[in-house]
Amino acid sequence: MSSPIVKLIAQRVALGILLLLAVSVLIFVGTNLLPGDVAQSILGQAATPVALENLRKEMGLNDPAYVRYFHWLFGILQGDLGTALTSRLDVATSIKERLWNTLFLAFWAAIISVPLAIILGLLAVRYRNGPIDKLISGFALASTSLPEFFIGYLLVFIFAVTFPILPGISTVHEGMPFLEKMKAIALPCTALTLGVLAHMMRMTRAAILNVMQSAYIETAELKGLSAFEIIRKHAFPNAIAPIINVVTINLAFLVVGVVVVEVIFVYPGMGQYLVDHVAKRDVPVVQAVGLIFAAVYIFLNVVADVASILANPRLRHPK
Amino acid sequence: MAETLLDIKNLRIEATTYTPGEKPRTITIVDDVSLTLEKGKVLGLIGESGAGKSTVGLSPMCYGRGGVSITGGEVILNGRDILKQGKNGIRKLRGHEVCYVAQSAAAAFNPVQRLMDQVVEACLTHGVANRVEAERRAVSLFTKLSLPDPDNIGKRYPHQVSGGQLQRVMTAMALCPEPDLIIFDEPTTALDVTTQIDVLAAIKEAIHATGVAALYITHDLAVVAQVADDIMVLRHGKMVEKGTTQQIIKEPRESYTQALVSVHHIEHQEKQPTPKPILSVKNVTAAYGNGIVKVLKNVSVDIHPGQTLAVVGESGSGKSTLARAITGLLPPQQGEVIFDGRKLSNKLADRTKEDLRQLQMIYQMADVAMNPRHTVGTIIGRPLTFYFGLRGAERDRRVKELLEEIEMGTGFIDRYPAELSGGQKQRVCIARALAAKPKLIICDEVTSALDPLVANGILKLLLNLQEIEQVAYLFITHDIATVKSIADSIAVMYRGEVARYGAKSQVLTPQFDDYTDLLLSSVPALELGWLEKAIAGRKMAGAGN
């Protein structure tokens, strides 16, 4: 491990942090542009002008925007995400459990979809242009083409209504036995998996096929290696960088893109929480959730970049 | 009577092309080729690109590139017809009985695996040896092939080793499972001459020491003459002639072989320098990467009107960078370029249209230097419109004139680059350069991608055109034989500096400086035993120092 690689990685990490700061500004500005008066929405239409003015003062709403921004930012850095306007609850406390739930769902969807996508991609390469390849690609593309809410309701219709073997509403709560929990998330997990599978599988297939054109694949073939050995030992390791990239983008989607799926299955995660509070114009909650989603997204992308750097032997082992 | 290892009878290889919108067509790539190879012997397969030599060469591995398949004949290896072996049988034979050494080792090694893992892979796959034994063999082969630090070189990754060393590692990889037959597919073509000679000597020594038989595929007769016992000449997928190496190079029977043997004999009378050069490069220093990587150091050369300066050197010597500095693509850090008595501005953007017109370029890769969606007429016509404002019938007339000049005929005016052969493409590029009526054309390795006979045609054309148009050439090449055929003066470049410069007769006559001597003595000569003489000469020189 030498300086160029450390430098490159440090650059990526620094860029990620910078990006996150920029996003925090965007979120803050964006939520401030939203129409409506926070004080008004808390106190309701019947509030007197004096009461409104008092509340604004109390909440610091009359300060200039940049003061409020830094106030908000330093609060976050100290772990204070603010107080929900509607419920008067600490946002950090309410988010904790929901974030955990979202990550739980995303984690299991990833555990199933990533290996499945890569294995299907490898199979598609091995039997390329044959019936197996066409079947895999066709199935994956069909599942991606259908919107998640449609797949979600379709799954509910089949597995919860027609054959009632799984719950159609995925309520989970703390202290629930693990197996119960798994059963509860089975359908949303499937819906998510079907949503991200095709992209990862197609990109894996394309990345490996691209590598299969290389002269060293011919070398391996002329050594008498079997088709699977060639793909596993020579093609896959060289296609790893683009595969990691597409996998992390999809992981990010699993965390961030669960909103719709959570709403369908009434799953108590971040997505539902966000949608609820957007409807109520609860700005601190929207800001906090937005920032967390952005952080997850940027973090995973930095991981992808760092992994691609580490996968390059020229950078790992300089001359 | 030696034992027959390989017996190919009436081999027929076909390819099916699937052009969209057309019915699949079957093309015959190789037709009715027969050969036998005894154990421990080396057979050279020689021919131009498209002659089918690689296709024939790969047939003992039952392998075809790009939809090619063997459709007739027999390939008998160690007494078995391998075409009847089935998939698994062929897999067991590849990398075990027959091994392969590719043209570009740099591309043929997996970049993410250590060399040793790749060298022993075939042994392990076929159960020839266990890991410890295979690695022991590999190290001993590395030693035999005179690789530096044979005990540790296997721990390196491909990008950490030079091109010539990689080619030797690849030879070790082929020898490791102790096969009966190795197929060498242009193993030294991608290397510089001074590297080629060492690799060639190492390969020859390894073949000799292990007693393995080999098929040696190349387009370079002088190279194959050094290693092969017998030579087979192929053309258009058919055998032209087969004989001992001695017979092929001394008494070729067929006219095609005779042409191949005498290919480099262009006589060119050296012209005297004129008092006023058309181009003077004065103390030019140039660098890439914000001046960090110095590629040209204090280079000064002159080119005289209607004459040719050949710039010769190996890859990385800075010869193409010199062209970039002259054209302004890479503005020099120091020094100046004087063209026709006036100083050219360093930057391309600051030059006048007239400056640009008088200085044209021709590139190595003709097919990527042309817009594939333009017809030949448009390609040659564009500079006519751009520089002289010619349009319509007038332009067509001039394009036709130029087509006649490059000996292609006016019928090509509506053709697309894809419909032309490699030599024809390069001719169109020459016509495009000539269309601007330049005083100087920079030719950057213009014949390097072409087959020897075609390249010879291009050189002759360039010389003719020089007589007619009185155009000067800056001719960049790595090939000494080409230099001898075309140059009036020569600049030998080494690591960004001019190592030797002067009139052709002067540069090519002793006393040589060390580098020029090495370069000249590394060019394979078409004679038996040249390699041994050259290596011995080098050792003597080494001992003398």
Tens of pLDDT, residue by residue over A18-41, are: 999 999 999 988 888 877 677 777
Whether residue B288 lies inside any domain: the answer is yes
Contacts of A227 in chain B (CB under 8 A): none
Q: Is B274 helix (H, G, I), strand (E, B) or coil?
A: coil
A159 CB-near residues (< 8 Å, 6+ apart): A165, A166, A168, A186, A187
What pLDDT is stored for residue B265 in this prediction?
A: 67
Is residue B106 within 8 A of residue B189, CB to CB? The reply is no
**B472 in any annotated domain:** yes
Nearest to B105 by CA among B23, B61, B164, B178: B164
Contacts of B83 (CB under 8 A, 6+ apart): B62, B70, B73, B74, B75
Bridge-based pairing state of the strands B213-218 and B42-46: parallel
pLDDT of residue B450: 84
Distance CA B195, CA B162 (A): 10
Q: Is residue B14 part of a domain?
A: yes
Predicted confidence (pLDDT) per residue in B292-320, tens digit: 788 899 999 999 999 999 999 888 888 98
Query: Is residue B269 included in any domain, yes or no?
Result: no
Which of B62, B110, B181 would you mutate first to test chain A, the one with the most A CBs within 10 A? B110
d(CA B492, CA B494): 7
Taking an 8 Å cut-off on Cβ atoms, the answer to whether B94 and A238 are in contact is: no
What the block records as the tokens of B386 is 């751009």
- B61–A222 CB contact, under 8 Å: yes
- The end-to-end CA distance of chain B, in Å, is 47
Q: Which residues contact B221 (CB under 8 A, 6 or more apart)?
A: B46, B231, B248, B249, B260, B261, B263, B526
Domain that holds residue B155: 4-261
Residues B112-135: tens digit of each pLDDT: 999 999 999 999 999 999 999 999
Residue A228 with chain B: CB contacts under 8 Å: none
Taking residues A36-51, report their average pLDDT. 76
The beta-strand segments (E) located in B290-353 are 293-303, 308-312, 334-339, 342-344
What pLDDT was estimated at residue B461? 92
Q: Is the minimum CB–CB distance between B95 and chain A shorter than 8 Å? A: yes
Residue A133 has pLDDT above 50, yes or no: yes
Biggest CA pair distance of chain B:
76
Residue B430 lies in a domain: yes
Q: Is it the case that residue A1 has pLDDT exceeding 50? A: no
Helix (H) or strand (E) segment spanning residue B424: helix B422-435
Confidence of residue B545 (pLDDT cuts 50, 70, 90): very low
Instruction: Work out the average pLDDT over B387-405.
Output: 93
DSSP code string of A40-59? HHHH-TT--HHHHHHHHHHH
Question: What would the two tokens of residue A49 be?
Answer: 């002008």
The pLDDT value recorded for residue A134 is: 92
Indicate whether B536 belongs to any domain.
no
The residue count of chain B comes to 545
**Which residues lie below 8 Å from residue B385, measured CB to CB, with a gap of 6+?**
B391, B395
**pLDDT surpassing 90 at residue B6:** yes
Mean pLDDT of B365-391: 92
Angle formed by the axes of helices A91-126 and A236-256, nearest 10° = 150
SS (H, E, C) B181-242: EEEEECCCCCCCHHHHHHHHHHHHHHHHHHCCEEEEEECCHHHHHHHCCEEEEEECCEEEEE
Nearest CA to B44 out of B176, B194, B257, B234 is that of B234
> Is pLDDT larger for residue A3 or for residue A225?
A225
Same domain, B243 and B358: no
Rounded CA-CA distance B401/A139 in Å is 60
Dihedral sign for Cα atoms in the order B144, B150, B156, B160: negative
Residues B379 and B242 in one domain: no
Based on the fold, state whether residues B330 and B253 are members of the same structural domain.
no
Longest C-alpha distance within chain A, in Å?
86
Between B46 and A44, whose confidence is greater?
A: B46
Q: Do B472 and B383 share a domain, yes or no?
A: yes
Tell me what the pLDDT averaged over chain B comes to. Answer: 90
Mutation to test the A interface, candidates B77, B93, B121, most A Cβ within 10 Å: B121
Tell me: do B152 and B238 sit in the same domain: yes
Over residues A190-244, the pLDDT tens digits come to 999 988 888 899 999 999 999 998 899 999 999 999 988 999 999 999 999 889 9
Residue A284's φ and ψ, nearest 5 degrees, are -55, -40
CATH number at residue B188: 3.40.50.300
Distances (CA, A) of A20 to A282, A298, B169, B348, B438: 22, 7, 48, 42, 57
Residues of B in contact with A231 (CB under 8 A): none
The answer to whether residue B100 neighbours chain A at the CB level (below 8 Å) is yes
All residues of chain A having their beta carbon less than 8 Å from the beta carbon of residue B118 are 219
Task: Give the per-residue pLDDT at A57.
Answer: 82
- Residue B479 domain-assigned? yes
CA distance A268 to A257: 15
- What is the average per-residue pLDDT within B74-92? 90
pLDDT, position B543: 56
Q: How far is A125 from chain B (nearest CA, A)?
A: 17
Close Cβ partners of A28 (under 8 Å, ≥ 6 residues apart): A65, A68, A69, A72, A287
Question: Residue B64: which region, alpha, beta or left (left: phi > 0; alpha: psi -120 to 50)?
Answer: beta
Question: Between B510 and B141, where is the model more confident?
Answer: B141
| Chains A–B, number of C-beta pairs less than 8 Å apart | 76
Both B211 and B246 in one domain: the answer is: yes
Buried b (16+ CB within 10 A) or exposed e, B352-383: eeebbbbbbbbbbbbeebbeeeebbbbbbbbb
Q: How many C-beta neighbours within 10 Å does residue B149 have? A: 10
Stretch B343-371: mean pLDDT, rounded? 91
pLDDT value at residue A86: 75
For the segment B443-461, what is each residue's pLDDT rounded down to a tens digit? 999 988 888 888 888 999 9
Residues B254 and B304 in one domain: no
Mean pLDDT within A81-107: 85
Q: Smallest Cα–Cα separation from B381: which of B401, B356, B358, B366?
A: B401
**Contact call for residues A274 and A315 (beta carbons, < 8 A):** no
> Which ranges constitute the DSSP H helices of B263-406?
319-327, 353-358, 376-388, 392-405
Q: Burial level of B227, CB count in 10 A (0-12/13-18/19+)?
A: buried
Q: Does residue B236 share a domain with residue B317? A: no
Q: Could you give the CA distance from residue A97 to residue A91 in angstroms, rounded to a whole number?
A: 11
d(CA B108, CA A219) in angstroms, rounded, equals 6
According to the model, what pLDDT value does residue B192 have? 85
**Residue among B61, B94, B108 whose CB faces A216 most closely:** B108
Q: Say if the Cβ atoms of B95 and A229 lie within 8 Å.
A: no
- Cα-to-chain-centroid distance, residue B296: 24
CB-based contact B107:B156 (threshold 8 Å): no
Note whether B170 and B142 are same-domain residues.
Answer: yes
| pLDDT band (50, 70, 90) for residue B289 | confident
| B256 and B310 fall within a common domain | no
- pLDDT at res. B45: 94
Q: Which residue of A has its CA nearest to B92?
A: A224
Instruction: Identify the H or E element spanning B25.
Output: strand B25-38
Could you tell me if B341 and B217 lie in one domain?
no
Q: What is the mean pLDDT of chain A?
A: 87
Cα distance between residue B414 and residue A207, in whole Å: 39
The residue of chain A with its CA nearest to that of B94 is A224
Residues B300 and B200 in one domain: no
Provide the chain B residues 137-156 that lie in CB contact (below 8 A) with chain A. Answer: 156
Could you tell me if the ipTM is greater than 0.95? Answer: no
Strand order in the sheet with B342-344: B293-303, B279-288, B334-339, B342-344
Hey, CA dihedral for A259, A262, A266, A272, is it positive or negative? negative
Cβ distance A224 to B102 less than 8 Å, yes or no, reads: no
What was the pLDDT predicted at A50?
86
**CA A168 to mean position of chain CA atoms:** 23
- How many domains in chain B? 2
Q: Measure B368 CA to nearest chain A CA, in Å.
A: 20
Q: Do B313 and B474 meet the contact criterion of CB atoms below 8 Å apart?
A: no
- Whether the per-residue pLDDT at B234 is higher than 90: the answer is yes
User: Residue B54 in 3-state DSSP?
Assistant: helix
> Mean pLDDT lowest for which of B14-18, B227-231, B374-378?
B14-18
Write down the pLDDT at residue B11.
93
In a domain, B399, yes or no: yes
What percent of chain B is predicted at pLDDT more than 90? 56
Contacts of B365 (CB under 8 A, 6+ apart): B449
Question: Using CA atoms in the order B51, B165, B519, B192, what is the torsion angle rounded to 10 degrees?
Answer: 40
Kindly report, residue by residue over A141-196, the tens digit of the pLDDT: 888 888 888 988 999 999 989 988 888 888 888 788 888 888 889 999 999 998 88
Q: Which CATH architecture has domain A3-35+81-316?
A: Orthogonal Bundle (1.10)
* Vertex A77: Cα angle to A72 and A79 (nearest 5): 95
Name beta bridge partners: A90: A83
Q: Which two tokens stand for residue B122?
A: 């075939």
**B254 closest CA partner among B228, B233, B225:** B233
